[in-house]
Chain A
Amino acid sequence: MSVVIGRTDPGSKREFSVRYRAPMTLLDVLFEIQRAQDASLAFRFFCRAGLCGTCTVRHNGAPVLACQTAVAADSRIRIDPLGGLPVIRDLVVDLEPFATAWAAAVRRSTPTGVRRDGFGDDTRLEMHRDARECIACAACYSACPVAGSDETFAGPAALGRKSLIAIDARLADTAASGAAGASSDVAGCHSVGACSIVCPRGVDPARLIRRLRRLGREAAT
Chain B
Amino acid sequence: MIPTPDVIETDVAVVGSGAAGLMAAIHASAARPDLDVTVVSKGIIGRSGCSIMVVGLNASRGPDDSVDRHFRDIVERGLYLNDQELAWNLAAGAPSVVEELESYGCYFDRDPNGDILLTPFAGQSTNRHVARDSQTGFEIMSRLRDQIYRVRPRLLEEVRALDLLLDDDGAVAGLALLDINSGRPLILAARSVVVATGGASTLYRVSSPAREKTGDGMAMSLRAGAEMRDMEMMFFLSVGLAAAPSLSSGMLLAEVFRRIGGELRNSDGERFMATYEPEAMEASGTEEAVRALYTEIKEGRGSPHGGVWIDVSHLGAELLEERFPDVVERSRLVGTDITTGPAEVAPVSHFQIGGVVIDTNGETRVPGLIVAGEDAGGAHGASWTGGNGIVEAMVFGARAGRRAADVASARTRSDPAAAQGAETFRHCFGFLGEGGAETAVDLASELKEAMWQGAGPVCDRAGLDGAQEAIHGLKARASRLSATGPATVNVAWQSILDLHNQIAVAETVVAAATAREESRGVHFRVDHPDRDDAGWLRYTVASAQPRGLQISTRPVQLTRLQPGD
Contacts and interface: CB of A to CB of B under 8 A. Distances in A.
Partners in one complex: yes
Interface of A: 9, 21-25, 27-28, 31-32, 34-35, 39-49, 51-54, 67-68, 70, 88-90, 92, 94-95, 102-103, 106-111, 113, 115, 117, 128, 132-136, 161, 164-165, 168, 170-171
B142 A136 contact: yes
Given A31-B247, A45-B247, 5 more contacts: A32-B245, A46-B44, A47-B48, A51-B135, A94-B181
Nearest to B105: A171
B43 interface: yes
Interface residues of B, number: 49
B146 A106 contact: yes
Contacts of B48: 46-47, 52, 54
B150 interface: yes
Nearest to A102: B149
B211 to A, nearest CB: 6
B485 A46 contact: no
Contacts of A102: 149
Interface of B: 43-44, 47-50, 52-53, 102-105, 107, 135, 137-139, 142, 146-147, 149-150, 181, 210-212, 243, 245-248, 251, 330, 333-335, 435, 439, 441-442, 483-486, 488-492
Per CB-CB distance, the 9 closest pairs between chain A and chain B, nearest first, are: A40-B485, A42-B489, A23-B334, A103-B149, A111-B103, A39-B492, A106-B146, A46-B48, A23-B335
A107 B47 CA distance: 18
A169 to B, nearest CB: 10
B335 to A, nearest CB: 4
Contacts of A51: 52-53, 135, 137-138
A148 B138 CA distance: 26
Chain B interface, DSSP helix/strand/loop, else mixed: loop
A145 B103 CA distance: 35
Contacts of B102: 115, 170
Contact of A27 (B50, B53, B247): B247
B142 A43 contact: no
Contacts of A47: 48, 50, 52-53, 210
Nearest to B45: A99
Contacts, number: 145
Contacts of B330: 49
Contact of B491 (A39, A67, A134, A135): A39
Nearest to A42: B489
Interface centre among B135, B212, B333 (most CB of A within 10 A): B333
B107 A128 contact: yes
Nearest to A38: B485
A106 B486 contact: no
A107 B149 contact: yes
Nearest to B137: A51
B356 to A, nearest CB: 23
A90 B44 CA distance: 17
A23 B343 CA distance: 12
A46 B251 CA distance: 13
B53 to A, nearest CB: 6
A88 B487 CA distance: 12
A42 B490 contact: yes
A59 B135 CA distance: 26
A170 B103 contact: yes
A39 B333 contact: no
B136 to A, nearest CB: 11
B484 A45 contact: no
A23 B344 CA distance: 12
10 contacts: A23-B333, A31-B247, A39-B483, A39-B485, A48-B211, A94-B181, A102-B149, A132-B142, A135-B138, A171-B105
A88 B248 contact: no
Contact of A67 (B243, B248, B490): B248
Contact of A49 (B104, B139, B149, B251): B251
A221 to B, nearest CB: 28
Contact of B439 (A39, A40, A94): A39
B444 to A, nearest CB: 10
A111 B491 CA distance: 39
Contact of A136 (B47, B53, B139, B212): B47
B205 to A, nearest CB: 15
Given A70-B333, A88-B488, A107 B210 contact: no
Contact of B44 (A35, A54, A107, A110): A54
Contacts of B43: 46, 52, 54
A9 B150 CA distance: 37
A168 B146 CA distance: 14
B331 to A, nearest CB: 10
Given A52-B44, A108-B150, A89 B489 contact: yes
Contacts of B490: 40, 42
Contacts of B50: 47
A192 to B, nearest CB: 25
A52 B52 contact: yes
Contacts of A135: 47, 138, 142
A23 B243 contact: yes
A115 B96 CA distance: 13
A23 B246 contact: yes
A46 B105 contact: no
Interface centre among A44, A52, A128 (most CB of B within 10 A): A52
Contacts of B138: 51, 135
Contacts of B53: 47, 49, 51
B178 to A, nearest CB: 15
A177 to B, nearest CB: 14
A142 B459 CA distance: 50
Contacts of B150: 106-110
B105 A165 contact: yes
A143 B330 CA distance: 26
A132 B333 contact: no
A109 B181 CA distance: 30
A113 B335 CA distance: 48
Contacts of B484: 39-40
A25 B243 CA distance: 11
Nearest to A22: B335
A111 B210 CA distance: 30
A132 B139 CA distance: 8
A168 B105 contact: yes
Contacts of A40: 484-486, 490, 492
B212 to A, nearest CB: 6
A153 B246 CA distance: 39
A98 to B, nearest CB: 10
Contacts of B483: 39
Nearest to B333: A70
B211 A92 contact: no
A124 to B, nearest CB: 12
A24 B485 CA distance: 26
Contacts of B104: 109, 111, 170-171
Given A34-B491, A42-B490, A43-B491, A21 B245 contact: yes
